[in-house]
Amino acid sequence: MAGAMVPPIWLDERGRRVPTRPCPRCGRETPVYRLTAERAHRISWQPWQVWSVVSWCGHQQEGIPVLAADGLWELIPVLGEAS
């Protein structure tokens, strides 16, 4: 397919592949944002506060940092719009 973009491969601090999910706007693969408590603190992630990131596809994604079972903070996407 001409002009098709191959998504990058995202790696964590240990060199392991980061899980992906589709971008809600265009469907391209985007990384699941997961941070250690130390890194989350450094960039001022606050639990249950909506955060925005721009993914490699150029679309802004909003999410809420939630502590996962493995001890990492994961940005859970907020889909739709508040009324």
Residue 10 lies in a domain: no
Tell me the residue range of the domain where 59 lies. Answer: 33-77
Q: Looking at residue 83, what is its pLDDT?
A: 47
Residue 1 lies in a domain: no
Q: Looking at residue 20, what is its pLDDT?
A: 92
Residue 65 lies in a domain: yes
Residue 82 lies in a domain: no
φ and ψ of 44, to 5 deg = 65, 30
Residue 51 lies in a domain: yes
For the whole prediction, is pTM greater than 0.85? Answer: no
Q: Looking at residue 75, what is its pLDDT?
A: 87
Residue 3 lies in a domain: no
> Which residues are CB-neighbours of 56 under 8 A, at least 6 positions away?
7, 8, 28, 30
Instruction: Please give the mean pLDDT across all residues of the chain.
Output: 84
Q: How many domains does the chain have?
A: 1
CA distance 83 to 81: 6
Least confident interval from 28-32, 44-48, 60-64: 44-48
